[in-house]
């Protein structure tokens, strides 16, 4: 069992690297602990609340009791299945804002500015505008990842965008193009009615090549000899064995499992490793630190007309949607239902959006529980760049033990101010004329919740993770004591070992992280192959000309 490259984790970045490295003629072995992603609950977009809550497909991680959220333990789903979290996520496709990547480059991740990453976003996607306009020059036409738009048949989608306009915000017909800021259509990784995960886009085609294969097993640690990674120790069928890497080992097992594996392999904060009796190979203080996420709330409204998806929220309705999808790959089952979106700025002086909206024409929770009111709709809203930082640490030296995850959500005062603003701005949008025909009353938080203290209590009780953990193996300059990998994704202090997944993000990007995670795999593959990078783009993104003086 050996290959030029051994990739740990068949997730968003891992699948992209398996495809690109094998395409270049290298032999690749991908280690994945989870099982197959074939089955309607994963492949049918509208069924997204199921796999996310299933032990079969999810590692089942939870945070430690969060001190600033009344000690709640928040769930942290991570895909334990071929395709990784791209097989259990909400399929929302967001590249992130140009300003996010320019911040990466300024913070030490040289060569990862927006001009550097935009060509990789173009290379990886085949974009379908669905007749809703957009910025074709900014988009890809022949990449493995199909990106599409929902039909937006429900009148509430239009009401949401029109209300944003009435409230004075810009409208954008492509938030993944030149202008992210504003209200417009949302994009999804769905193609021909199916979830277009990294497994469907990248891994299946790669596995058809003779030089790419997948091994089912639990990665226990990276084998390091004389300061160089030579393979990965795995357990499969109750036996421990080593898979040898002729050239390099690449970890792409998520912002939770990648730092865990590094620490189990002796790479991390020396004192912490010593506590668990692990021999220190490289003392890297940043491993597991810098953990970030997006936290969000659902602002739910009761609908005055029975036009929401609630009419299908029963056995017969779900069976009908399921049958139409199964036989025709069409109908409501073929969309994740997130078909309208917005990115806005919270205040004058904020140079690019720091609040995101997902709009949904039903009032429902991620675990699939519908609001007691019946017909309703909701906007998921939260700040994009929280100041709070958490950590992933080892609970034990046993590779089978879950790590300790503490996000330390809402530990900074500014995060509270930003969240209150999110709620108040959302209420203002729902109060516009375009929503007048559809709004009955506010379900959550409820009209009685108005003061700062009341809003804070609501946030403490109801804020949920948007499931975008990242940052725990920060990419930065070699002399940055908190950096774990250099700008070529090489682990600092060890030869022949790289990390490429959302754990290397220096700071969280705007919006959902699946797109940026796949881009990371695409770009990392070129670093690994040492073939030179795609030429930087010189497209200039739109920044609101009045950002210094106005909020919208």
pLDDT(130) > 80: no
89 is in an annotated binding site: yes
132: confidence class by pLDDT, cuts 50, 70, 90: confident
pLDDT given for residue 82 in this prediction: 98
**pLDDT tens figures, 361-379:** 999 887 778 888 899 999 9
Q: What is the average pLDDT score of the chain?
A: 97
pLDDT above 70 covers what percent of the chain? 100
Q: Is 498 helix (H, G, I), strand (E, B) or coil?
A: strand
Give the mean model confidence (pLDDT) for residues 393-415: 98
pLDDT given for residue 131 in this prediction: 74
439 is in an annotated binding site: no
92 is in an annotated binding site: yes
Fold (topology level) of 2-529: FAD/NAD(P)-binding domain (3.50.50)
Note the residue count of the chain. 552
Q: Among 263, 261, 306, which residue's Cα sits nearest to residue 281?
A: 263
pLDDT given for residue 51 in this prediction: 94
pLDDT(471) > 90: yes
pLDDT given for residue 85 in this prediction: 98
Decide which of 455 and 1 is more confident: 455
40: confidence class by pLDDT, cuts 50, 70, 90: very high
CA distance 240 to 218: 9
485 is in an annotated binding site: no
Q: How many CA atoms lie within 13 A of 492 on its CB side?
A: 22
> Residue with structure tokens 């609340």?
49
**pLDDT tens figures, 55-90:** 999 999 999 999 999 999 999 999 999 999 999 999
Residues in CB range of 268: below 8 A, 6 or more apart:
259, 262, 282, 283, 284, 287, 288
Q: Among 67, 421, 9, 24, which residue's Cα sits nearest to residue 203?
A: 9
pLDDT(323) > 80: yes
Catalytic residues: 468
């Amino acid at each position: 069992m050996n290959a030029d490259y051994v990739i740990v984790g068949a997730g968003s970045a891992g699948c992209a690297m398996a495809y690109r490295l094998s395409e270049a003629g290298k032999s690749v072995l991908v280690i994945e602990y989870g099982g197959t992603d074939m089955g309607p609950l994963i492949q049918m977009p509208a069924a997204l609340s199921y796999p996310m809550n299933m032990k079969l497909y999810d590692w089942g991680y939870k945070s430690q009791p969060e001190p600033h959220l009344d000690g709640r333990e928040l769930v942290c789903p991570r895909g334990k299945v071929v395709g990784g979290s791209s097989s259990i996520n909400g399929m929302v496709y967001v590249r992130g804002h140009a300003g996010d990547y320019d911040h990466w480059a300024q913070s030490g991740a040289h060569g990862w500015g927006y001009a550097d990453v935009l060509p990789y976003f173009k290379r990886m996607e085949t974009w379908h505008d669905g007749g809703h306009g957009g910025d074709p020059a900014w988009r890809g036409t022949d990449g493995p990842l199909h990106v599409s738009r929902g039909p937006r048949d429900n009148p509430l989608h239009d009401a949401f965008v029109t209300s944003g306009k009435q409230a004075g915000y810009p409208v954008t017909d492509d938030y993944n193009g030149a202008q992210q800021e504003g209200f417009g259509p949302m994009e999804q990784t769905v193609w021909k009615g199916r979830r277009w995960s990294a497994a469907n886009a990248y891994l299946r085609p790669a596995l058809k090549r003779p030089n790419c294969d997948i091994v089912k097993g639990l990665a226990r640690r990276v084998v390091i000899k004389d300061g160089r990674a030579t393979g990965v120790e795995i357990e499969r069928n109750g036996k421990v064995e080593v898979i040898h890497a002729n050239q390099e080992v690449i970890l792409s097992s998520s912002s939770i499992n990648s730092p865990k594996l590094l620490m189990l392999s002796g790479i991390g904060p020396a004192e912490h490793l010593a506590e668990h009796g692990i021999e220190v190979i490289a003392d890297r203080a940043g491993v597991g630190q810098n953990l970030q996420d997006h936290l969000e709330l659902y602002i739910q409204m009761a609908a005055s007309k029975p036009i929401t998806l609630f009419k299908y929220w029963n056995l017969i309705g779900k069976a009908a949607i399921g049958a139409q999808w199964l036989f025709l790959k069409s109908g409501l089952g073929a969309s994740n239902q997130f078909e309208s979106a917005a990115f806005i700025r919270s205040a004058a002086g904020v140079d690019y959006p720091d609040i995101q909206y997902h709009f949904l024409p039903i009032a429902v929770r991620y675990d699939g529980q519908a609001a007691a009111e019946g017909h309703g709709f909701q906007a998921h809203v939260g700040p994009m760049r929280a100041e709070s930082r958490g950590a992933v640490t080892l609970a034990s030296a046993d590779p089978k033990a879950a790590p300790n995850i503490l996000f330390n959500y809402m530990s900074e005062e500014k995060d509270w101010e930003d969240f209150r603003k999110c709620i108040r701005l959302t209420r203002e949008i729902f109060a516009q004329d375009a929503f007048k025909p559809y709004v009955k009353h506010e379900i959550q938080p409820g009209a009685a919740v108005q003061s700062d203290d009341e809003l804070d209590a609501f946030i403490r009780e109801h804020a949920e993770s948007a499931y975008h953990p990242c940052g725990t193996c920060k990419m930065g300059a070699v002399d940055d004591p908190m950096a774990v990998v250099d700008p070529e994704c090489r682990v600092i202090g060890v030869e022949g070992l790289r990390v490429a997944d959302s754990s290397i993000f220096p700071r969280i990007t705007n919006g959902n992280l699946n797109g940026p995670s796949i881009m990371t795999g695409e770009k990392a593959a070129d670093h690994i192959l040492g073939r030179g990078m795609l030429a930087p783009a010189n497209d200039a993104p739109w920044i609101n000309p009045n950002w210094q003086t106005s909020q919208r």
